[in-house]
Amino acid sequence: MTLIIDRLSKTYPNGVRALNQVSLTIGTGMFGLLGPNGAGKSTLMRTIATLQTPDSGSIRFGDLDVLATPDEIRKLLGYLPQEFGLYPNQSAEVTLDHFATLKGASHPGERRDLVASLLRQTNLYEARKKNVGTFSGGMKQRLGIAIALAGSPKLLIVDEPTAGLDPTERHRFLNLLGEIGQDIVVILSTHIVEDVRELCNSMAIINRGEVVLSGDPEVIVERVRGTLWRKTVTKAELEAHERRYQVVSVRLLAGRPVIHIHSETNPGDGFTAIEPDLEDVYFQQIGLSAAKAAA
């Protein structure tokens, strides 16, 4: 099934325009929604999850009009919000059993099988008797996914799930999402470029409520090949370089600034060509969209 978002706009009562004519077509697989904090990702996720309404625009999932028939879409939806509450003194198994009941698994034997299979899938089976209050951040997130999967969703929305996870937990969590994303539509919102690079076959970069770029990450990266250059400078030289060149990013490597710039031709001046990377594209697009907003 395909999710089609068409010209979605939302301005909050305080005047913040969180979404501005957002259009995206999202097929089966992992879709990465990448953008800095405040870009509008959560607003978009919550709108698709029918938790809030836009001012204008439409969303279709397969044959369903999401905004007109929210109850229908909720049957097909799994949603893992940024923050979710669990009873700390309940075991993972009891927690999941409770949610499986809510999702309509009423037959006890069937429900037991479903809960066991979700615990195995999310690698929590060994910890099933432990209270969730003792769980690590990664375990809680995996339990969140198990809960979201309890209703066998066709559309899974995961909002900033890797923030705060250590690298091992993050990888385990992304691998889990990757497996799920083979059969259904999974939308992963994140401000972490590697999450998208490692996992998603399709993506969009969103900033200030607007889609600034969308497509296949590999194709997007290929498009900037030959236009990115790198140089290590001194801190004293940095400012002059920022004035002179279109700087995409500045990173410190062993205490010295390493700058990446965009240039259609070889800038000389000690720069060397670099292999393009999704992070360069991301910083470039965010920079361009900020410059456009300031103009």
Positions touching ligand ADP (CB under 6 A) are: 12, 14, 16, 18, 35, 37-43
Nearer to ligand ADP, 22 or 259 (CB): 22
For the chain, the straight-line distance linking the first and the last C-alpha, in angstroms and rounded, comes to 40
Reported residue count of the chain is 295
Contact 17, 11 (CB under 8 A): yes
Measured CA to CA, the distance from residue 105 to residue 187 in angstroms comes to 25
Which is nearer to ligand ADP, 79 or 135 (by Cβ)?
79
Is 192:173 a contact under the CB 8 Å cutoff?
no
- Residue 184 near residue 154 (C-beta atoms within 8 A): yes
Nearer to ligand ADP among residue 14 and residue 272 (C-beta): 14
State which residue, 39 or 165, has the beta carbon closest to ligand ADP: 39
Q: How far is the CB of 188 from ligand ADP (least distance, A)?
A: 13
Please, which residue, 33 or 92, has the CB nearer to ligand ADP?
A: 33
Calculate the CA 157 to chain-centre distance. Answer: 9
Q: How far is the CB of 40 from ligand ADP (least distance, A)?
A: 4
For ligand ADP, which is the closer residue by CB, 118 or 205?
205
- Closer of 28 and 289 to ligand ADP (Cβ): 289
What's the rounded Cα separation, in Å, for the pair 82 and 200?
19
Paired tokens of 264: 């259609």
- With 0-12 / 13-18 / 19 or more C-beta atoms within 10 angstroms meaning exposed / middle / buried, residue 58 is middle
In the complex, what is the shortest distance from the CB of residue 52 to ligand ADP, in angstroms, rounded to a whole number? 8
CB of 11 to ligand ADP, least distance (A): 9
For 234-265, b where at least 16 C-beta lie within 10 A, e where not — what string? eeeeeeebeeebbbbbeeeeeeebebbbbbee
CB of 79 to ligand ADP, least distance (A): 14
Q: How far is the CB of 192 from ligand ADP (least distance, A)?
A: 12
CB 92 to ligand ADP: min, Å: 28
Cβ atoms of residues 189 and 42 within 8 Å: yes
How many Cα atoms are found within 13 Å in the side-chain-facing hemisphere of 265? Answer: 1
